[in-house]
Amino acid sequence: MGQGGEPRRAQAYDGELGAAVTRAQDGDEAAFAVAYRIVQPGLLGYLRGIVGDDAEDVASDAWLEIARDLGRFKGDGAGFRGWTATIARHRALDHLRRLRVRPRSAVLDQDVVLDLAGPHSTHDEALESLSTGHALELVRGLPRDQAEAVLLRVVVGLDGPAAARVLGKRPGAVRTAAHRGLKRLARQLGAAGAGEGVTDGGPRTLGEST
């Protein structure tokens, strides 16, 4: 699996995002709104992969912390994307601990993910071409470590090392999880293109092992 860069959509916005964050740190509220607009869709999609329908509440808590600690952030647009994902993940895990439930199914936003890949997708194409529908069922079927690695790469737009920092794991472990998840997604996309079912049973929730 190629690890040579972020999904193209994230890259396109990171220059604008970095500039907005710099202005926001100087007190420009409009610039903070720009940063929010760029980051929130992916962040919300990722959170929906962890906490399901409670994603918007968790995102609100995360943004309160992001706004409070904005002055402490140092880095560029890509770094800000990773920093906000880390905060959001911590808030999501706190939320799950309070509820004492396992992570629920992902519901990915159509406006933050791309078109579904064809049946002969490579791993990289699967990485950059997930969408709702078939992909939702596929991501639900992945073990949690693989699902989070894929969601951070595709929905949030992080590169491999940044995703590893968010998850608090070694880059190699996250790279392996993403590789396995994407290999499985590509294989299942191929099966779907051949007329086979993409799942072997009812929908599974994110976090269950297979």
The 10s digit of each residue's pLDDT in 121-180 is 444 455 444 544 456 557 767 888 888 888 888 778 898 899 999 999 998 998 899 888
pLDDT at residue 112, rounded to an integer: 39
Ranking 49-58, 83-92, 137-146, 196-205 by mean pLDDT, the lowest is 196-205
Q: Output the CA torsion 4→49→69→11 (10° steps).
A: 30
Q: What is the pTM of this model?
A: 0.70
pLDDT at residue 134, rounded to an integer: 57
What is the distance between the alpha carbons of residues 110 and 121, in angstroms, rounded to a whole number?
A: 20
What is the distance between the alpha carbons of residues 142 and 180, in angstroms, rounded to a whole number?
A: 9
Q: At what angle do helices 160-167 and 144-151 cross, to 10 degrees?
A: 130
pLDDT over 60 (residue 9): no
Selection from 66-75, 142-151, 195-204 with the highest mean pLDDT = 66-75
